[in-house]
Amino acid sequence: MEEKVREIFGITAPDLRQVPVLTLAYVGDSAYDLILRTLFAETTMLHGKPLHGLVQTYVTARSQARIADGLQEELTEEELAVYRRGRNAKPETVSKHASLAEYHKATGLEALIGYLYLDGRTDRAVSLIRKGMAYAEQETRE
Q: Cα 54 from chain centroid?
A: 16
CA-CA distance, 67 to 106, in Å (whole number)?
Answer: 8
* Residue 123 appears among annotated catalytic residues: no
Q: DSSP per residue over the chain, as a string?
A: -HHHHHHHHT-----TTTS-HHHHHHHHHHHHHHHHHHHHHHH----HHHHHHHHHHHHSHHHHHHHHHHHGGG--HHHHHHHHHHHTS--S---SSS-HHHHHHHHHHHHHHHHHHHTT-HHHHHHHHHHHHHHHHHHHH-
Kindly name the residue from 15, 29, 69, 119 that is annotated as catalytic: 29
Give catalytic residues, as residue numbers.
Answer: 29
